[in-house]
Amino acid sequence: MHCGAPDPAAKFAEHLGDIMVPILYMGAAGGFGSWGEYTTTLTASKDVTIHIVQLLPDEQQSQDFGHADLVAAKDAESLVWQPILDWLVAHP
């Protein structure tokens, strides 16, 4: 989306409505958090699950679980990867 082409975001977004598969949005409150939720509303998917890891109050967002923590945090296995596995098992 940041390739220098004229309005690449519009070109990208015009095909989101073609997506009809189940979607799991995994976010980190101290990273992009709920910002990515909007993109899921542009799809045609009837099955959207939102999971945002938030450990601190909203006022402490900058110190909360970050996007790198989704992979690297010591508790990522229980906070991120187990919910992903559970979602995958529920969506055969």
Residue 8 CA to residue 26 CA, distance in Å, equals 24
Q: What is the pLDDT of residue 14?
A: 82
Model pLDDT, residue 1: 43
pLDDT of amino acid 7: 63
pLDDT tens digits, 21-64? 999 999 999 998 888 899 999 999 999 999 999 999 999 999 99
Q: Considering only CA atoms, give the Rg of the chain.
A: 15
Enumerate the H helices of 1-92 as residue ranges: 8-13, 37-41, 69-72, 76, 82-90
Q: What is the predicted pLDDT for the residue at 34?
A: 87
Give the C-alpha separation, 55 to 60, whole Å.
9
